[in-house]
A and B are shown apart, each in its own frame.
Chain A
Amino acid sequence: MSRLRLLEHDEAPLAARTIYAADGTASALKRSLANAPDILETLLPFLGQIFDEGAVDLTTKELVVVRVSRLNACAYCLASHRPIALESGLPEQHVAAICDERPLDLLPDRERTIVEWVDAYVLDPGGISDELVARVLDHLRDDQLVELAVLIGATALLNHYCTAFDIPAGG
């Protein structure tokens, strides 16, 4: 049971109704965010920019989103992003590896290095070595690393929100 009201289209503030589809449906996450239309006004465009393809391709972004959601044990975000990760082109075995259901060795060098850097960024940012940064920069430019760092933050924000408020997966 969600700990926040999940507003249906007709209960939602006028300014928040644009987030609902034409048939009046919206994800449980969006229906909870509709309680705070002022926040929604800046949060949704922000998330749109961060999660959409940018300087980093969508497949790499989904690899990062699923890994962060796994580290934060967010059932809602894993349920939403595992299918998106597959759709974006990540092979099923790689998704399973990112979710710790298969060995991480299955991942190619680039993906494995990114996962290593993501783990350190989330779990021990102060312990990241120059050597790890150099290795990840063999695969990504500085600006791409900035984009992924902000993506990690945005994903963690949603992970904590959905878990703390018990937003129902698939709701």
Chain B
Amino acid sequence: MGTSLSQGVEEGRCGDRLWLYATYHCNLACVYCLTESRPGIANRRTLSRETMVALAEEARELGFGALGVTGGETFMLSDFPETLADLGRVLPTVALTNGTLFTDRVLDRLAVLAELDVALQISLDSAEPARNDEWRGPENFAKVVATVPRLVERGLRVRIATTVDDQTDDELERLCELHRSWGVGDDDHLVRSIVRRGRAALEELGVEPGPTDILPELTITADGAFLHPFAPTVRHGVTDLDLLVARQVRPLQAALDRFLRIVAHQPAGTDVVRNIR
């Protein structure tokens, strides 16, 4: 018998969140984007709503405790508000978004999330508009700053994610003041380095992750199952396969078995350095 998911989680070998890459399509084209996402991307590698919901249900049966949905920009999918509600009814869910596509109509469609265990994790890299927009594109700061209070007002849980390049401590402190002013607490502010994979590797940005720096969490994309959410990166339009776990993703059990076989060989316990999270 190999390691079970619960045993792997207990021993600190892996997390119990299943990640889904909803799409690689995005309305932005950030310099450090790990997936080379951008508006005109040819291969969007989209998971359908039915596939994501079916995977979520399988995940709950298999003992996963939470879901994460990422991309690309999740809200590029026209039915994503409803998909997110479906997922939130299955397991606690966090959806990563750049926060720039929240029209009034989208906000109305998201109202139901206030009743569910769903968080929206929005990227914001600096409290200085020019600095933030240098990484994330023109007008990004203004859009995020306009959106977050409207989400919070509607009772939706918001987390802020900051990707660190050369921000000073002062600059980060000003960002913390900003998110606190919206009612987003420090526990809901995630700060991490740029991971040097995908486009960030081509641009020589960020830090090279060591083999035990990132906690393995089974991650499903249209290309297959991967070791963690920083694994299915893209270079020159081609998906990196070095951290591919399996091509077959359904039944999820088959991908999970292969994932657990790999994590069984990884160091366990609290002494493992998990720098990137």
Q: Tell me if B258 is interfacial: C-beta within 8 Å of chain A.
A: yes
A3-11, A57-65, A82-90, A140-148: which one contacts chain B? A3-11
B263 to chain A, nearest CB (A): 10
* Binding-face segment, B82-90, B196-204, B242-250: B242-250
CB A12 to nearest CB in B, in angstroms, measures 7
Residue of A nearest to B211 (CB): A14
A36 near B247: Cβ-Cβ < 8 Å = yes
A138 to B162, CA, bound (A): 76
B242 interface neighbour in A10, A36, A38, Cβ under 8 Å: A10
A-B Cβ contacts below 8 A, count: 40
Give A14 to B261 CA distance when docked, in angstroms. 11
Across the interface, name the chain B residue whose C-beta is closest to A34.
B241
Residues of A contacting B240 in the complex (Cβ-Cβ under 8 angstroms): 11
Task: Please report which residues of chain B, range 224-276, place their CB below 8 angstroms from some CB of chain A when the two chains form the complex.
Answer: 227, 238, 240-248, 254, 258, 261-262
A11 in contact with B246 (CB, 8 Å): no
Complex Cα spacing A34 to B258, Å: 15
Please give, as numbers and ranges, the residues of chain A lying within 8 Å of B258 by CB-CB distance. Answer: 15, 37-38
Interface bits B138-175 vs A (CB < 8 Å: 1, else 0): 00000000000000000000000000000000000000
Other-chain contact of A11, B241, B245, B254, B262 (Cβ < 8 Å): B241
Do A38 and B246 touch across chains, with their CB atoms under 8 A apart?
A: yes
- Tell me whether A13 and B238 are in contact (CB under 8 A): no
Q: B244 — nearest CB in chain A belongs to which residue?
A: A13
Contacts of A1-31 to chain B: CB distance below 8 A: 5, 7, 10-15
Q: Please give me the residue from chain B that is nearest to A36 by CB atom.
A: B247
A92 to chain B, nearest CB (A): 41
Q: Let me know if A35 is at the binding interface, CB within 8 A.
A: yes
B142 to chain A, nearest CB (A): 40
Chain B nearest Cβ from A78, distance in angstroms: 30
List 13 A-B pairs, Cβ < 8 Å: A5-B241, A12-B241, A12-B242, A13-B242, A13-B243, A13-B244, A14-B227, A14-B243, A14-B262, A15-B244, A38-B246, A38-B247, A38-B258
Q: A5-B241, A34-B241 are in contact. List 8 more A-B contacts (CB 8 A).
A: A13-B244, A14-B245, A15-B246, A15-B262, A35-B241, A38-B246, A38-B254, A38-B258
